Amino acid sequence: MLIEIRDDVIWAKHLKASPALYNAVVNLPEEETINLAVDGIVGKWARMRTGADGRPTLGIKPVGAMATVWKRLQERRGEKVRVSWPDDEEDAWLRLADTTFEEWYSAEDEEAFGDLRPL
């Protein structure tokens, strides 16, 4: 699915093209994370906290290294990027992103890039 880069977060209403992802975000507990592939990079996103007025904030914010990636993507506001969810049937293979050969990675790599996964 393609979404337009519009804000510092991704709002649930922009994910309606994928009903499974939209429902997952809306029903995700506050601060709970999910993995999303955005513009070819898999990273963590967290459900936003309820607002001061008690209404739920229906969006997700980038976490960890994905926050840096998303901040760089902000330079492309107005452009569309591909977003996919490893739990969508068509992208189910992304769930295997954590299944790797441990000897291929160093502690330094894990610290720097541990929460990012290329497609």
- For residues 15 and 84, is the Cβ–Cβ distance under 8 A? no
pLDDT per residue as tens digits for the range 51-66: 999 999 999 999 999 9
| Residue 76 confidence (pLDDT) above 80 | yes
Helix or strand holding residue 117 (H, E) = strand 117-118
pTM: 0.72
pLDDT per residue as tens digits for the range 1-50: 999 999 999 999 999 998 989 999 999 999 999 999 999 898 999 999 99
**Cα dist. 86→73, 74, 91, 106, 107 in Å?**
21, 23, 5, 25, 25
User: pLDDT at position 40, please?
Assistant: 87
Alpha helix (H) residue ranges in 1-119? 19-27, 65-73, 107-113
**What is the arithmetic mean of pLDDT over 75-85?**
92
